[in-house]
Structure 1
Amino acid sequence: MSYKKLGDYIQQVNNRNRDLQVDTLLGVSITKKLIPSIANTVGTDMSTYKIIEKGQFAYGTITSRNGDKISIALADEYEKALVSQIYIVFEVIDKNELLPEYLMMWFSRPEFDRYARYHSHGSTRESFDWADLCEVELPVPSIEKQREIVAQYQAVENKIKVNEQICEKLEATAQTLYK
């Protein structure tokens, strides 16, 4: 399978919260998830914040404070939310060529983080900017194969979640018995 440049499949999105219709503010964690922001926004002009919609990505270009990880996440829990202006919001151009979920799987790989950290530049504040992201090469199999890979991955993820819930219940039972 040949590798293809990511820049051929993604585009930036720059929708602002000008009418203040969206109020859920999220941040991008190094665990590659969108998480509720803990920022103090009292007195902040929220009209300048970016809107991220379900199926879109946000990432922080500054890599120097993240250790080995790149802060990048797929919006999959909220229909619309806000992220800071410092994040780049982007989307897959054609979901019949590249699934956002498949792309997020690629971003979740340690190899992607190593690549991005290696290609980060700057002296005081290292960054992996939009142009760098667009130069990333990845395998893009047929859309059917992508769906198959994503389905298998999600099945394993769901089994892991169920097992974690069972472990939590067993731990609670053991603690009750111990007391």
Structure 2
Amino acid sequence: MEVDDVKWVRLGDYIEQCDERNSASVNYPVIGINRDKTFMPTVANLDGVDIAKYKIVTKGMFVFSGMQTGRDICIRIGLYDNEQLALVSPAYTTFVINDDKKVLPEYFFMYFNRAESDRYGWFISDSSVRSNLDWPRFLDIEIPLPSPDEQQKMVNVWKAFREIKEQNEAKVAPLMQVCQSYIQELKYKYPKQEIGAYIHRIDERNSDN
């Protein structure tokens, strides 16, 4: 793909907010977003909370939180891919791609999974007293937008590498457990010793400039 094939576009021209509330107070699962942009069951105490004010999240919807972006150096954003409806706090912003023939939701999400995007979010959040990435500022972010076919190719590669990563992590996990158990065994089997006998200091200066 040539550089000339990619145009830079403003986010606000391709996304729109959704704000469907749980007015019937249905007991859907309540979720939040981790720093790694995955969803988790809420850790908030919901006793006495009016869940009718909570927002309903459906498959293909994005959930965004710009709170403390500068502190965490992280844009909290997730793409919900579960068939089960869920609820999020009214403090979150929920939105969708307004034309998925021009922007693939997975491409959009992939772009914001980069450390570079998180650092940029941190950079532009400095205008907020609380280091938040406010919604209007988020809408003004520009992203590169190749053709839908090129977007799909990138998504396919991203998915393939992510699957390989997950497979490797699954294989490593049992080995890590064995190593941790062995280390614990050594802690009880051998007495502790000071490390001073095994290291020495080096202080060589650049005397010849």
* TM-score, scaled relative to structure 1: 0.90
Q: Distance in 1 between matches of 2:87 and 2:76?
A: 16
Counterpart selection for 2:128 from 117, 122, 126:
122
- 2: distance between equivalents of 1:138 and 1:64? 18
Q: Alignment identity in percent? A: 33
Corresponding position of 2:12: 7
Residue 171 (structure 1) shift = 4.0
Task: Describe how 1:29-108 pairs up with structure 2 within 5 A.
Answer: 29-63=34-68, 66-108=71-113
**RMSD over aligned Cα atoms:** 2.1
Q: What secondary structure is seen at the aligned counterpart in 1 of 2:72? A: coil
Q: Which has the higher contact order (CA 8 A, sep 6+)?
A: 1
CA contact (8 A) 1:12 1:88 kept: yes
Equivalent residues of 2:58, 2:82 under 8 A apart: no
Relative to structure 1, is the Cα distance of residues 135 and 165 closer, same or farther in structure 2, using a 3 angstrom cutoff?
Answer: same
5+ residue gaps in structure 1?
Answer: none
For 2:113 and 2:103, the matched residues in 1 are separated by 16
Q: Give the Cα–Cα distance (whole angstroms) in 1 for the partners of residues 8 and 82 of structure 2.
A: 30
Structure 2: distance between partners of 1:111 and 1:64:
13
TM-score, normalised to structure 2's length?
0.78
Structure with greater Cα Rg: 2
Match of 1:167 in 2: 172
User: Could you tell me whether the CA contact under 8 Å between 1:56 and 1:74 is conserved in 2?
Assistant: yes
CA distance in 1, matches of 2:158, 2:86: 26
With over 3 angstroms needed to count, the CA separation of the structure-2 counterparts of 1:93 and 1:28, relative to structure 1, is same
| 1:80 Cα deviation from its structure 2 partner | 1.6
CA contact (8 A) 2:61 2:80 kept: yes
Q: Could you tell me how far 1:152 is from its partner in structure 2?
A: 0.8
Deviation beyond 6 Å, 4+ runs, structure 1: 173-179
CA displacement 1:65-110 (0-9 Å, x = unmatched): 7421121111123532111000111110111111111111111112
Cα pair distance change 1:64/1:106, threshold 3 Å: closer
Structure 2: segments with no counterpart, 5+ residues: 1-5, 186-209
